[in-house]
Amino acid sequence: MSEATYLIVGAGSAGCVLANRLSENPAHRVLLIEAGPEDSSPLIAMPKGFGKLLADPKHADYTPVAPHAGNRGRQEVWARGKMLGGSSAINGMVYVRGHPADYDAWALQGATGWGWDEMAKRFKAMEDHALGADELRGAGGPLKVTPHAERSELAEATIAACAHLGLERREDLNRLDHEGIAYLSYTIRDGVRQSAAAAFLAPVRSRANLRVLTGTRVVRVLFEGRRAIGVEAVVDGHVRRFDAARELILCGGALRSPRLLQLSGVGDGEHLRSLGIRLVAHNPAVGRHLQEHLLYMAQWRLADWRHSQNREFSGWRLGLNATKYLSTRSGVMATGSYPVGGFYRSLPGAARADAQLMMCPFSLDFAAGGMAMEDFPGMQFFSYGLRPRSEGHLRIVSPDADVPAEVDPNYLAEEEDRRIAIASMRFMRKVAEQPSLAPLIVAETRPGPAVQSDEQILDAFRSGGQSGYHACGTCRMGGDEHSVVDPRLKVRGVEALRVMDLSIAPSMPAGNTNGPVMAMAWRAADLILEDAR
């Protein structure tokens, strides 16, 4: 392929959608560049394979998070997917759209054209939902979505417990008002993960005008004056240049896209000059406004092995389950990890649901690092506030692309976030105490019954909470100079450069973020194609 019309950096949830949509026109030469390998591992297709992939540096990229007050000085590491499909190939696959009011809030904050009416069209266009099309759901699109099909006594007891506390049982949480409890929907079909690469890239990979490069790590955007003209990348240890005739689109995610901008001279001028980086465009917002969900995994010992999957992932049972999956695409390895979830109001007077709950029919051995199951039957709830108000930052500390950036999520800095954290722990315990669920439980094991006061609960979040892998806001979209990109996703102060990933979100969408990112990329493709006419 000759010089690309569009050069896309990052083949994750957004990049795969854009590659599909922009290459629909054979006159557009599209180059998609990915640092990781092909998505050929059989663990990617297997829904329960993501635990192994998260711990595999071939398929995951790791960003150290600075110890800070919000995590009691712990060294946290955030993992992101590093292969075709990006994090959609190693995530928990939960499909959540977010609340309509969140998108309308974006439009009110200056992201004109990104309200719910516009986003709803994109969700519907890209979906192939197993429940069929209706006024909100889509059918026939490239992304296959399926509700969790396996029913269990533990899942039904959890739903009944939440209903006893006032949550309505739903068939599908992705409605105009998502408050309620339900079997969750997943990007899974017939026991196979539907990553962005599987859904959007694989079906069009044979297009003559689409080129995909793996093992190609972009380290810098190249400019002529203020116009982006290409990228510098490392391939097999050698530096190469790739050019774009019309536009570059960064799709590296909320941790990589702002870092790449800063390394390329777009960011806070004083800071970049202090590192010896030539300034292309001064924009202090690059890397700021970082938001992340802080969740806590509370655990209980169960009375009977029938209700727990703790021994299904080791020894002879693991071999049996893996064999069953490979031969039939069924069994415990073919399903998502969180059969039941919901949205609820944790604080009195909340206008809409402000927290999310998920149930997991296994429990982790945190004393051994949290990568193995406990040796007794257990279950887990986790919960987090949907719209964190606390904001952190990401900034490079060196002009060397191999040096990790400084990342500080600034968890629990705002009072409302602390109040929701406390309320969410108390809500999880209330669910466990309900008459449908309590008979299945022996005792709470994490954080344990000694943790009762508000300050003790906050300390549990700070010392044992973790990222939801939903970071956003570091290249925030808006209508003024305090944003990084405008509503058409063009980077302010430069030409021929856009950003499309969760870093552009003006605020956190309510819930899991993979679905929103793909719908945002569908919307972005429409904008880019409009501008090309």
Total Cβ atoms within 10 A of residue 453: 9
- Domains held by the chain: number: 1
The string of pLDDT tens digits covering residues 198-221 is 999 999 999 999 999 999 999 999
Is residue 273 in a domain?
no
CATH of the domain at 342: 3.30.410.40
In whole angstroms, what is the distance from residue 304 CA to residue 255 CA? 42
Q: What is the C-alpha to C-alpha distance for residues 141 and 290, in angstroms, rounded to an integer?
A: 32
The pLDDT assigned to 2 comes to 58
Is residue 470 flagged as an active site residue? Answer: yes
Residue 381 lies in a domain: yes
Q: What is the pLDDT of residues 361-385, one digit of tens each?
A: 999 999 887 778 999 999 999 999 9
User: Residue 32 domain-assigned?
Assistant: no
Decide if 362 is inside a domain: yes
Q: What is the pLDDT of residue 3?
A: 85
| More reliable by pLDDT, 349 or 71 | 349
CA distances from 384 to 47, 230, 288 (A): 23, 40, 22
Q: pLDDT value at position 227?
A: 98
Taking Cα atoms as reference points, which of 427, 463, 10 lies closest to residue 253? 10
- H-helix segments, 87-218: 100-108, 116-126, 153-164, 196
Check pLDDT > 90 for residue 533. Answer: no
Tokens of 244: 């774009």
So what's the pLDDT on residue 155? Answer: 98
CA diameter of the chain: 69
Q: How would residue 120 be classed by pLDDT, with cut points 50, 70 and 90?
A: very high
d(CA 311, CA 326): 19
- Mean pLDDT along residues 416-431: 99
- Amino acid letter, residue 214: T
Q: Is 326 within the bounds of a domain?
A: yes
The torsion angles phi and psi of 216, rounded to 5 degrees, stand at -125, 105
Per the structure, the complete domain to which residue 340 belongs is given by 149-183+294-385+410-470
> H-type helices in 218-268, by residue range?
257-263
What is residue 399's predicted lDDT score, i.e. its pLDDT?
98
Residue among 28, 398, 514, 508 at smallest CA distance from 249: 28
Give the dihedral sign, CA 24/26/31/37. positive
Asked if the structure places residue 172 within a domain, the reply is yes
Distance (Å) of CA 406 to CA 64, 256, 395, 417, 439: 8, 12, 5, 23, 47
Whole-number pLDDT of residue 508: 97
Confidence class of residue 73 from pLDDT cuts 50, 70 and 90?
confident
Which DSSP string do the residues of 358-423 spell out, in sequence order? EEESS-B-GGGTSSSB-SS-EEEEEEEESS----EEEE-SSS-TTSPPEEE--TT-SHHHHHHHHH
Does position 150 have pLDDT exceeding 60, yes or no?
Answer: yes
Q: Say what percent of the chain tops pLDDT 70.
A: 99
Confidence band, pLDDT 50/70/90 cuts, at residue 69: low
Q: Residue 23 above 70 pLDDT?
A: yes
pLDDT > 60? residue 1:
no
Confidence of residue 70 (pLDDT cuts 50, 70, 90): low
- Give the Cα separation of 160 and 467 in Å (integer): 28
Residue 461 domain flag: yes
The pLDDT value recorded for residue 67 is: 84
Q: Which of 99, 289, 307, 470 is catalytic?
A: 470
**Structural tokens at position 429:** 């315990």
CA 265/CA 452 separation, integer angstroms = 49
Q: What is the pLDDT of residues 325-357, one digit of tens each?
A: 999 999 999 999 999 999 999 999 999 999 999
- Strands 30-33 and 210-213, how do they pair? parallel
Question: What average pLDDT does the structure give for the chain?
Answer: 97
Task: Read off φ and ψ for residue 223, nearest 5 degrees.
Answer: -125, 145
Q: Does 320 map to a domain?
A: yes
Query: What's the mean pLDDT in 376-401?
Result: 98
